[in-house]
């Protein structure tokens, strides 16, 4: 399951912005395993489907961000995503989990997206 994933890792003040720009395989999947561990508190995650009708993922596509122990640091909030709406997961806000401590390799996994479909996953870590 690889697909194409481009990683951008930027330091913005005291915050780290990690962006996965993904494009799925013919089986509708994309994955990426970071080489360097992510360390800090994850405060926000943003899931953005491509806006083009040609590359927008299938409705109800799934995104997980796993640590090396296989725990989804999104706490399941990336499951059954809309193919037209941006999901902004602000941890600690009403209905979502408290900020999540991470000190591990992060593994992005996208499934059920459709053939050659894309989007972005952005993680904000302090």
What does the pLDDT read at residue 109? Answer: 97
CA distance 86 to 44: 13
Q: What is the DSSP string of 65-110?
A: EE-TTS-BTTTTTTSSB-SSS-EEEETTSTTSPPPEEEEE--EEEE
Residue 92 has pLDDT above 70, yes or no: no
Residue 126 has pLDDT above 80, yes or no: yes
Q: How confident is the model at residue 94 (pLDDT cuts 50, 70, 90)?
A: low
| Domain 4-125, CATH | 2.60.120.380
User: What is the domain partition of the chain in residue ranges?
Assistant: 4-125
Its pTM surpasses 0.75: yes
Residue 107 has pLDDT above 60, yes or no: yes
What does the pLDDT read at residue 68? Answer: 87
End-to-end CA distance of the chain: 30
In this predicted model, what pLDDT tens digit does every residue of 47-81 receive, in sequence order? 999 999 999 999 999 999 999 889 998 888 899 99
What does the pLDDT read at residue 100? Answer: 81
């Amino acid at each position: 399951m690889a697909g194409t994933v481009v990683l951008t890792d930027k330091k913005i003040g005291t915050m780290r912005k990690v962006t996965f720009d993904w494009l799925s395989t013919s089986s509708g999947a994309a994955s990426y395993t970071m080489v360097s561990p992510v360390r800090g508190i994850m405060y926000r995650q943003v899931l953005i489907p491509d806006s083009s009708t040609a590359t927008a993922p299938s409705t109800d596509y799934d995104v997980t961000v796993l640590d090396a122990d296989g725990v989804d640091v999104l706490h399941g909030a990336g499951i059954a995503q809309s193919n037209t709406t941006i999901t902004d997961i602000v941890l600690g806000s009403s209905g979502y989990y408290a900020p999540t401590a991470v000190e591990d390799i992060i593994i992005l996994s996208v499934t059920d997206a459709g053939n050659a479909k894309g989007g972005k996953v952005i993680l904000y870590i302090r």
